[in-house]
Amino acid sequence: MNLKFLKSSDAVSSVVGMVLILGITMVSISAMMVYSYPTIYEMEDDAKAQRVEQGLTVLDSRTSKVALGESPGQVTDISLMGGTINVNGETEDYNKSKMVVVSTDINASRYDDFKKVRHQWGCWENYTDEDGFIKFNSSLGSIEYIKEGRKIAYEGGGVWSKYPTGNAIMVSPPEFHYNGETLTLPLMKVNGKSSVSGKGKVSLSISSDNMPEVLYPNTTADKNRTNPLKSDKVFVYIKSEYYKAWADYADSQTYSSATVDNENSTAVIELETIPPQGTSTLADSFKVGALNTSKDEPMYDFSFYLDGKSSEGLSPLNCEIKATSGNKSLTYILKESSKEIDIELKYVDTSAGSYYKEYWTSLDSFPIIDKQYSNVNLLNDTFDMEYTPPNSNKGGSDPDFSWDNESSISLPPDVKINDGNTSFTLNEISQHYLKLLTKSGTVTFNIKENQNKGKIDYSDSTFSLRYDSMPGFITYLHVTKNELMADVY
């Protein structure tokens, strides 16, 4: 009998399958380890950085108590976890961490030159010795944690964090308080020089003599450092490694905004003051702040009570009330005719074009009483004005360049004035042009009489000014420098 055995590989298939599954599993686990380890390591670093951020935030809170006199000193423990903590409070550190405040009058003789460079660190150097400019500053210093290029620092009363290849971010807000009317700056100046590296815990001590130096208001240092502010603009320059985070913080506030000078690691915050409002004795110049353009009629009062200087009274009156802002100018021309005052108005914007101007003449007049007195209300809503068409003897251009949808040269309403819609009230016209004129900030109106002998008695004449200003104005400024002694051990 011949027996034949059948050959089969069925049993081998199970073994090979198990080997393949095991191999795929090992490769998958290895790949996961290779690709996830850096992420795990990064997460561990982030967790350590967050612990330092929390520690410096606690330090920030305790430092505020020291600076405000609630405590003579505070100690905070922080884990180094392989990093380094430095107290940066010497001259070389102050050159990198400083705050400068400059206030200026837009009528200062060299303001136009300063305006061109105002967003650059050190721009004040050639101007602050002149009238119309005030400057004061404080060094800041810092307490800084560094590990493998990651930096976390207490500076200026805030806590900031910066990645090796990224921008700085704010961890805890600085001592910079602005409510749309008052700017309060308690500047925290860190003094001392010490450094500790390692993996264990260290102690940070902060102390103060609780005697802050008042930088503003301070009439002893400068008679012009008074409240309410008399200057037109306030600039805050913050030189810091974390300048972009400072700028972001200013932008996040409701009433302020900032630009950056990247070349000099500086954040620049620009604020405007509110010129005086109300009724006062007439002067040959006065200021109007930026109007709230979200309102159709932000001007509430813009009127003049004119008293004649001599027995002839206001006859013959011929004067201009004119303001200029960059490429824009607005001129009211007051002319006496037959015991009445006529109004002419001219608006020019050369940024729109060399011949872009809009010209209006009055259809009504303001009466002169007893040849001596007149009330001129430039917001009169029953006083009609007529547009002078292009190519007339008076000059003029297509008014659509300013009566259009909102742009750099125009504001609503979008109307075709030269298509027959030629009559507007003096109030409508004044509201429109004053909003356009003040879009870039405060403007100065100058009154000029166009004859050798003026007819207006300024001492007995008055003007009234009242309006809703654009948010972001400052009326009061309070700045103190708080000396802090810091040490790490």
Q: Is residue 311 classed as helix, strand or coil in its secondary structure?
A: coil
The average pLDDT across 83-112 equals: 94
DSSP one-letter code for 436: H
What is the pLDDT, as a whole number, of residue 37? 44
Q: Higher-confidence residue: 336 or 433?
A: 433
Q: How far is CA 475 from CA 57, 108, 230, 239, 245, in A?
A: 31, 19, 9, 25, 26
What is the pLDDT, as a whole number, of residue 420? 63
Evaluate if residue 252 carries a pLDDT over 90: no
What is the pLDDT, as a whole number, of residue 286? 95
What is the pLDDT, as a whole number, of residue 306? 96
Q: Higher-confidence residue: 252 or 310?
A: 252
CB atoms within 10 A of CB 206: 28
pLDDT category at 36 given cuts 50, 70, 90 is: very low
The average pLDDT across 42-51 equals: 61
% of the chain beyond a pLDDT of 70: 87
CA–chain centroid gap for 274, Å, is 14
pLDDT category at 41 given cuts 50, 70, 90 is: very low
Q: pLDDT by residue (tens digit) across 184-197?
A: 999 999 999 999 99
What is the pLDDT, as a whole number, of residue 9? 53
Identify the helix (H) or strand (E) that includes residue 145: strand 142-147
What is the pLDDT, as a whole number, of residue 473? 82
Q: pLDDT by residue (tens digit) across 363-421?
A: 999 999 988 999 999 999 999 999 876 665 555 666 678 998 999 899 998 887 766 66
| Vertex 28 angle, CA 23 and 30, to 5° | 95
The average pLDDT across 334-351 equals: 91
The 3-class secondary structure across 41-95, one letter per residue, is HHHHHHHHHHHHHHHHHHHHHHHHHHHCCCCCEEEEEEECCCCEEEEEECHHHHC
